């Protein structure tokens, strides 16, 4: 069965890996991103750039375009987000608002707007990107960790809300992801245990599959290199 898959943050490293994985199995993939254009095309992907996922109208317009192109939404993967390292004492309170908007509000907005379509699906799937750092926070991680903890609680609450439907809601919690940005920010780090984007994509595909229909409300650590 060919499904309609929406990947937010789909122009970034992880979003691209997720979109490629679903496209490779024949699903219809739509990538939605704040960035205007993707740096790399994916064959068959329907790309929508310049979308502010914290804005309900902008997000609704993007989903309307997906529906016109693909006829529905079966799988929503919420990759969109950001990171900031900043101690509380010397940092800015505005960083908390920024992380809340980028990591939690983007997720909640498109999820709410997509729910009617997901509930129409015979097997709707919502997969969120949480974080290992949203479980235990280290120094400088307060704003980021608080926002990712919010994603975890959203996942659990929505799974309970949708318990009587065909929609499951789960989250994957990666440790450090092996991306060019992370390597540049941590040039002296041991990258051998960093998680590969394609490994995270495989876990997401599993959660989106019929085999995972009994799993909902789970927060799944993804912490091995892959």
pLDDT 10s digits, 131-162: 999 999 999 999 999 999 999 999 999 999 99
Cα–Cα nearest to 66, from 119, 107, 5: 5
pLDDT of residue 165: 97
The answer to whether residues 19 and 29 touch, using CB atoms and an 8 Å cutoff, is yes
Mean pLDDT for 57-76 is 98
Q: What are phi and psi of 144, to 5 degrees?
A: -65, -50
For the annotated catalytic residues, the residue numbers are 144
Q: What is the b/e burial string over 185-197, where b = at least 16 CB atoms within 10 angstroms of the residue's CB?
A: eeeeeeeeebbbb
Each residue of 151-197: pLDDT tens digit? 999 999 999 999 999 999 999 999 888 778 888 878 888 778 889 99
If phi > 0 it is left, if psi is from -120 to 50 it is alpha, else beta; for residue 71 that is left
pLDDT of residue 224: 86
Instruction: Map out the domains of the chain as residue ranges.
Output: 4-222
Tokens of 32: 């939605």
pLDDT of residue 184: 85
pLDDT of residue 191: 78
Mean pLDDT for 40-49 is 95
Topology classification of domain 4-222: Rossmann fold (3.40.50)
């Amino acid at each position: 069965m060919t499904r309609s898959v929406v990947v937010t943050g789909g122009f970034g490293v992880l979003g691209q890996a997720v979109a490629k994985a679903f496209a490779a199995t024949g699903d219809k993939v739509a990538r939605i991103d704040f960035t205007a254009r993707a740096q790399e095309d994916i064959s068959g992907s329907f790309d929508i750039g310049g979308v502010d996922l914290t804005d309900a109208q902008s997000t609704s317009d993007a989903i309307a375009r997906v529906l016109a192109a693909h006829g529905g939404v079966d799988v929503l993967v919420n990759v969109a987000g950001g990171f900031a390292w900043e101690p509380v004492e010397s940092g800015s309170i505005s960083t908390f608002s920024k992380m809340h908007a980028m990591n939690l509000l983007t997720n909640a907005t498109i999820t709410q707007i997509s729910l009617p379509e997901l509930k129409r699906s015979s097997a709707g799937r919502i997969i969120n990107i949480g974080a290992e750092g949203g479980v235990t926070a280290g120094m400088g991680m307060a704003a980021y960790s608080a926002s990712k903890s919010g994603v975890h609680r959203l996942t659990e609450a929505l799974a309970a809300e949708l318990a009587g439907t065909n929609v499951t809601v789960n989250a994957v919690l990666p440790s450090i992801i092996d991306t060019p940005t992370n390597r540049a920010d941590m040039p002296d780090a041991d990258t051998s245990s960093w998680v590969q984007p394609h490994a995270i994509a495989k876990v997401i595909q599993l959660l989106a599959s019929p085999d995972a229909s009994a799993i909902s409300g789970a927060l799944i650590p993804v912490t091995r290199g892959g």
